[in-house]
Amino acid sequence: MIPWAITIPLGLYMSKQRFKLIGLTNRLKEVQTNLRQANKALERRANFDGMTGLLSRDSFFGQLDQMRAHKKTNVLMIIDVDHFKDINDSFGHPAGDQALILLGKIFRKTLRKGDLAGRIGGEEFGIFLPQTSAPEGQIIGEIIRHEIENTFFEPYHNMRHVITVSIGVAGVASHEERGALMGNADAALFNAKRRGRNQVALFEPWMSTKPRLVHDKVRDFKPIGAHSNFR
C-alpha cells in the first residue's frame, strides 16, 4: 500500500510538471519567433524605404560600392521629380506620397533584375545599372522618363496630374570616389533641369562638376514658356 500511496501522487505531480514544461517550451518558441520577426522588421526598416519599398539611401550606396568594385562598365542615375512641391501644395502631402509610391512601382517594373533602385532624398531617387555603358544608360533613362510621363496619376477624381522627372546619367568607374560619381550625375541632372526639365542628360566633361546641390533644388528656375503639368 505504501508504494502505491507514493507512486500515484508522484505520478500526478510529474505529469503536472511535464505539462508546465511543455507550456514554457511553447512560450519560448513563440518569443523566439516574435524576436526573429522583429529583427527582420528592423533589418527591412534599415535597408528599405518605408514608403516606396525601394532601397534606403545607406543601403543603396552600400550595395553600389560593392557592385561597382567587380564590374567594369556601370551607370549611375539621379532622378528628381519635376515641380514636386506643386503636387504637395495643390493636392496635399498624401497625394505627394502616392506619387512617390507610384514611382517606386514604375522603377520595379521597368528596371532589369540586378539593377539597384533607392530613394536617396525626399523626391530624389538613385538607380545603379551594372554592366551598362553610358549610352545604354541614357536609353534606359529615356525609357524610365517616358514610362513615368505616360503613367496615369489622378490625385482627385477627374483631375489628372502628369508626373515628369529629370534624369542625370553618368558612367561609373570602380576606382572613382563616390563623391566624384555623385558630382557627375548631379551635374548632368542640373543640366537636364536647366534645359527645361522632363529630359535625360548624359554627363559630359564640359559640364560643371559642382552644380548647385540638387537638394537646394533648382525648382525656382522656371524657363520661359514652361508648360503646366495639369491636364
Q: Which residues belong to the active site?
A: 123
The separation between the first and the last C-alpha atoms of the chain, rounded to the nearest angstrom, is: 96
Residue with the three cell numbers 546641390: 213
Would you give the DSSP letter of residue 161? B
For residues 84 and 117, give the distance between their C-alpha atoms in angstroms, rounded to a whole number.
19
Q: How far is CA 52 from its chain centroid?
A: 6
| Burial of 66: CB neighbours in 10 Å, binned 0-12, 13-18, 19+ | exposed
Q: For residue 134, give the C-alpha cell.
A: 553610358
Among 87, 80, 104, 88, smallest CA distance to 169 is for 80
For residues 152 and 46, give the distance between their C-alpha atoms in angstroms, rounded to a whole number.
31
Q: For residue 68, give the C-alpha cell.
A: 561597382
Q: SS3 for 62?
A: helix
Helices and strands, number each (H, E), in the chain = 6, 5
Task: Give the phi and the psi of residue 168 in degrees, each rounded to 5.
Answer: -105, 130
